[in-house]
Structure 1
Amino acid sequence: VRSAEVGSRISLLHWNIYAGPLRNKNLQPFLIQFFCFFISFSLFFSGFPLFAEHRLAYGPKEVGYVFAYTGLLGLIIQGGLLGKWVKRWGELSLVKWGLYSMVIGYLILATSFHLSTLLIAATVSAFGTAVLRPALTALISKQTPPEHQGLTLGLSQSMNSVAQIFAPILAGAMIEHAPLWTWAVVSAAIVGVAILFMKRAREAQARIESLT
């Protein structure tokens, strides 16, 4: 209980408290993947309205429709399909599929000049987002000792906060001062970093399963 209380009160300025989870070999790959996800998704979410305005001449109404579409897809996946997929394939497989889907979706988005390709990109990346976050959250929870659950939750929330602070600034700068495709390609590249940790994630899961 005390760990949960501490985790809920930790501020962004007390990163030394997070040293334990960050050094934990069973947690580290999943936390890195989680941080990469937060950054890439925050880049996408904050930069897409500007991208759509510059590339497709979309206004707030059209951008709202796209976000509503991706939100509906996420609701369908998480509300009716995800549980069945977890039972059949497991969280780690869903993490892999989610990461690759986000990369593919963002790369398609970088080359989108029409509604048709935009919808393909939105569908693929929305699938990745919908399966990745809950699957990673579940894996992190399984890798964390019960007494450290609150601390690890605080760490993941702090990662999200950091991403939401810096990603909009970076997205705006790239869209305004670099080729328009740069924003989407950088988002894909950050997810690519998370893919590089899949081997370590599988090894971490195998270590935990060997103890149960």
Structure 2
Amino acid sequence: MQQKKRSPLILMALTILIDFTGFGLIIPLLPFWAQHLGANPIGVGAIVTAYALAQFIFTPVLGGLSDRYGRRPVIIISLLIETLSFGLTALSGSLPMLLLARFVGGLGASNIGSAQAVVADVTPAKERAKGMGLIGAAIGMGFVIGPAMGGILSPLGPAVPFWTAAGIALLNALLVFFFLPETRTQKLPLTAEEAGETHSMNRLNVLWTGWQRAIQLPIVLRLILVNLLFTIAFTAMETIFPLFSQQKFGWGSTQNAYLFTYVGFVVVLMQGGLVGRLVKRWNEQKVMFGGLLLLAVGLIMLAFSNYLALVLISVGLLSIGDGAISPTISTLLSFASPAETQGELLGLAQGVAGLGRIIGPLIAGGVDTYSSAGIPLLIGGLLVLLATLVVFPILSRIQSPHDRKGSTILEAGRSQ
């Protein structure tokens, strides 16, 4: 029985690993590649933005479709789309072609809300942060493998890393097709009112139903806003750090690939094991809040780092913070969301994070154009501090399903 619960988690971790390996392939090489095509810092941000724009549009859509039609078919189709995107990226010989390829890639990578819904389907509340941490560890591992693969394979030809990623994504789609069981059947049935909404939806409504539901859930809205703010800050750092390190230390793609490998390694350590232990000792709310503080401190310190040792310390702190935030905020969102719409609301949160991946690179590139690369890092730190102010008032109001059940039983006992 335990093995049946583990299998979907492992396959979901593999799916997300492939997604972020492909994304990680580009991060350390993207600024220099775009500059070679004649792009300025804003153009560099635009390439990342194309990927994120597709995620913003389609992640809540795929999450909602997975609530209605099942997690498995949505994930398989998205992986096939991602395979196509890697092939298009390999064939890109111009900036417009690259922008199109990254948009298609963002559509394929919009399965993360569905993947997180699988975790919510198959894990009890007490183990959910650990399950979300496994997904987060896969993301971090993607940031370890992706930049490292990019550094190793790029001397063989600029298209080789992307053809490799296309082959791996196709293999992953086949693995999901043959081995992933459908988990949606474990969710609660729709109420009559919600079932009526589902049948009345048309092709355009599917883009907005997640927002309609979230507006009725203030705690979910605040968590989504926190997700947006910290994503803007972190993606701004990802976009601008290669230029920052080039200005400060004269680094190129190789040194930046090593640095992002370090970031991924720290995130994997956090999400692969430490987050579960920290949540058991404290809880999801305190771990997420502490992560926000560490991320803010790390970004502000990095903005003023003039020595390698200080860069490594700052990047280490912000990586620990990111490793603590990602799984715990997804867990808290699953706690605050109705069980029958978790795919849609988790997808909405990831779609808004996609919006953050649009805004972050554009802010970083625009600010760097008219100032210096350290200023976007400072702005990111201030945005994360704002996120702590947004989330602090609701931390005590978020309860896990287990806690809510216990409170209901206690209240029932008192009323007798």
Relative distance call for 1:141 and 1:16 in structure 2 (3 A) is: closer
Provide the C-alpha distance between the structure 1 equivalents of 2:304 and 2:324, rounded to a whole number of angstroms: 24
CA distance in 1, matches of 2:269, 2:399: 31
Give the alignment of 1:154-173 within 5 angstroms.
154-173=347-366
The reply to whether residue 117 of structure 1 matches residue 310 of structure 2 is yes
C-alpha spacing 1:3/1:197, structure 2 compared with 1 (3 Å)? same
Indicate how the Cα distance of structure 1 residues 5 and 154 shifts in structure 2: closer, same or farther if over 3 A, else same.
farther
1:104 corresponds to which residue?
Answer: 297
Residue 124 (structure 1) shift: 0.4
Q: Is 2:128 the counterpart of 1:128?
A: no
Identify which of 236, 250, 253 aligns with 1:60. 253
For structure 1, which runs of at least 5 residues remain unmatched after alignment?
Answer: none
Partner of 1:18: 211
8 Å Cα contact 2:210-2:348 kept in structure 1: no
Secondary structure of 1:58's partner? Answer: coil
One-letter amino acid matched to 1:50 = L
For structure 1, which segment, 193-202 or 124-133, has the greater mean C-alpha deviation from structure 2 after superposition? 193-202
Residue 33 of structure 1 pairs with residue 96 of structure 2? no
Higher deviation after alignment, 35-44 or 117-126: 35-44
Tell me the equivalent position of 2:332.
139
Task: For 1:179, give the aligned amino acid.
Answer: S
Q: Offset of 1:200 from its aligned partner?
A: 2.4
Q: Secondary structure at the match of 2:398?
A: helix
Tell me how far apart the structure 1 counterparts of residues 273 and 211 of structure 2 sit (CA, whole Å).
35
2:275 aligned residue: 82
Return the alpha-carbon distance in structure 2 between the equivalents of residues 15 and 2 of structure 1. Answer: 13
- The alignment partner of 1:150 has SS state of helix
Q: Is the 8 A contact 1:103 1:125 kept in 2?
A: yes
Deviation at 1:125, TM superposition (A): 0.4
Report the TM-score when normalising by structure 1. 0.89
| TM value normalised by structure 2 | 0.47
Q: 1:18 to 1:58 in 2, by over 3 A?
A: same
Deviations 1:121-178 (A, max 9, x none): 0110000000100010000001111111121022112112212223212211112212
Query: In the TM superposition, what whole-angstrom CA distance separates every residue of 1:101-136 from its partner, at most 9, and x where no partner exists?
Result: 011000110111110110010110000000100010
* RMSD value, Cα: 2.4
Could you list the runs of 5+ residues in structure 2 that have no partner in the other structure? 1-63, 70-112, 115-202, 409-416
Match of 1:4 in 2: 67
* 8 A contact 2:210–2:345 mirrored in 1: no
Asked whether the 8 Å contact 1:92–1:135 carries over to 2, the reply is yes
